[in-house]
Amino acid sequence: MFDFLPNDIKKIGTGISKGIVLIGVAIYVISPIDLMPFLPFDDIVVAVVGLSFVGIDISSLLGGARGARASYQKK
């Protein structure tokens, strides 16, 4: 889509967009105004989707079986 831009500009743009998404997720999770007040389900879903978009591996972050197996195989 943005093939006319140099790679340095593309990297800056993706970094800024990931930062904006991460800040937006943090504001949504912390704010008292959300889709389902007093229920954490929507906050968890938004956090998981946001962290996945940013590029953080959720399974290794939570210590899932795949993350443990992958770290064991690296050794």
Please write the tens of the pLDDT for every residue from 28-40.
888 877 777 778 8
2 found inside a domain: no
Q: Is the pLDDT of residue 20 over 90?
A: yes
How sure is the predictor about 67, in pLDDT bands with cuts at 50, 70 and 90?
Answer: low
Is residue 38, in this structure, part of any structural domain at all? Answer: yes
Q: How many domains does the chain have?
A: 1
User: Taking residues 13-38, what's their average pLDDT?
Assistant: 86
CB 25 within 8 A of CB 52: no
**Cβ(29)–Cβ(39) below 8 Å:** no
* Residue 44 DSSP SS3: helix
Q: Domain range spanning residue 25?
A: 7-74
Confidence of residue 12 (pLDDT cuts 50, 70, 90): confident
pLDDT for position 11: 85
> CA 40 to CA 48: how far, in whole Å?
12
Looking at the domain assignment, is residue 53 inside a domain?
A: yes
pTM of the model as a whole: 0.66
CA proximity to 50, closest of 25, 13, 29? 25
